[in-house]
Amino acid sequence: MDCAKVKEFLYRFIDNEADSTVIAHIERHLKDCPLCEKEINKEKKLDCLIREHFSKDEAPAHLREAIARRLQVKRQRQRYLLGLFILVVLIAIACIWFTLMRFS
């Protein structure tokens, strides 16, 4: 894993949301890369400060509901785009297959 990949997974790593393989790769990288280690330590300290000062404050219910709705819409849009992509790929495969069958 390189520094760019570590940055990509930085917050998931700090929040313990990365999978075990990613965690192992990052930990191995951190042993050899003081820059990434320093960056992660800085982010962990900032994370602790934020949790200490803001963890008691809870977002209002309407805000949480609005965020949940937006996340749901985003997930639905992603599923729709994935379905559309799969459909386009299948149509392309069918066109290629029919073309090959016609000329063989």
Which residues of this protein are in contact with Zn ion, per CB under 5 A?
Answer: 3, 33, 36
Q: Are 30 and 40 in contact (CB under 8 A)?
A: yes
Which residue, 4 or 61, has its beta carbon nearer to Zn ion? 4
For residues 29 and 40, the answer to whether their CB atoms sit within 8 Å is no
Question: CA 77, CA 84: separation in Å to the nearest integer?
Answer: 10
Question: Shortest Cβ distance from residue 78 to Zn ion (Å)?
Answer: 30
Residue 13 or 36 with smaller CB distance to Zn ion: 36
CB of 37 to Zn ion, least distance (A): 8
